[in-house]
Structure 1
Amino acid sequence: MQSLDFELDRDFVELNQLLKLAGLCDSGGAGKQLVASGVVSVDGQQEGRKTAKIRAGQVVRVDDIEIRVVAAA
């Protein structure tokens, strides 16, 4: 499994934007399609809300890629 850390510099990021910013898709729209396809989970639970608010401390998984969201220093 591939893991990466995403440094969050605000209170939250919308899930579809996180997928774009982490480099898993080319646009927010593509991020929404990825979420709609059912392959995205947040903290171990499948997530269907395309604009779910993701905060520091949460873990997003897409297939075999894990994104750990950490607070910016």
Structure 2
Amino acid sequence: MPELTTETALNILISWLQDNIYCDSEIIFDNDEDNTDSAKLLPWIGQARNDARNLRHLQLLQQTRTD
């Protein structure tokens, strides 16, 4: 079984959130006051995925410098 990386897990979550948006899901992730739904959460998860990619890239650069 392939390794489940942070980036892969975030891709799965992004796909799920996009499906929720497409299907007009009424899932609220926090409370009725803030109403954080899939559409509000999606950009934050996208940024987290970008941050994970950047971190992995920096780690690879650091590893090549120490090898």
What is the TM-score of this pair, normalised by structure 2? Answer: 0.29
Larger gyration radius, structure 1 or structure 2: 2
Larger relative strand fraction:
1
Greater RCO structure (CA 8 Å; 6+ sep): 1
Q: Decide which structure has greater helix share.
A: 2
